[in-house]
Amino acid sequence: MSEYDREVTRLRAALNLRRPGDHHRSTVIRNLSGVLGDRYAQYGAAADLEESIVLGRVALELQPLGHPERSNSLDNLAVRLHNRFQREGIVGDLEEAISSGRAALELRPPGNSDRPFSLHNLATFLSTRYSRGGGMDYLEEAITLGCSGLELHPPGHPFRAFSLLSQLTYLHTWFRVEGRMSDLEEAVALS
């Protein structure tokens, strides 16, 4: 039994103890959704991804605007919808990932410790949208968000390399389309 399997079992048991109306129920549901999504990412079982999305939606229903964990649930759902888009190619999943990612980012203003993750995730979704036939505005917004995320991960930050690689990818794509040497030079200067 993997660590993921043990955690899913533990969270299912915890959920059985949290009856409807219990204010901690949405947290357990969100956590279970997250672990199922992580297990999908590790092992690729479509059933885990589907259940993660269903539970993500349930968690959001229990977390109205103003709920302190709503941004986490929105971000988690957005990532899983993007995963499903990558797996099945349903454009509606990508569009919903983008709208959920935007909503999560709105709830994570400057200074919020989770803002860099929302910036990165939304930039990724927008870049994917561009690569699947979206307009240049998607790629341009991905670059802008990626730059904002990179600013929050200065040299020495543990996530700097991850943010930098994403931003370089967006700028390289922009260079391939636009062909301006200044765009390539900007990408080189970042590295």
- On whether the pTM is more than 0.75, the answer is yes
Residue 45 token pair: 């079982």
Per residue in 38-82, pLDDT tens?
A: 999 999 999 999 999 999 999 999 999 999 999 999 999 999 999
Per residue in 135-186, pLDDT tens?
A: 999 999 999 999 999 899 888 989 889 888 888 888 888 888 877 777 667 6
Per residue in 7-29, pLDDT tens?
A: 999 999 999 999 888 888 999 99
Domain boundaries, the chain: 1-107, 111-191
Distance (Å) of CA 3 to CA 8, 17, 35, 39, 51: 9, 21, 10, 9, 18
Going 113 to 99 to 52 to 25, the CA torsion angle's sign is positive
**Which CATH fold topology does 1-107 show?**
1.25.40
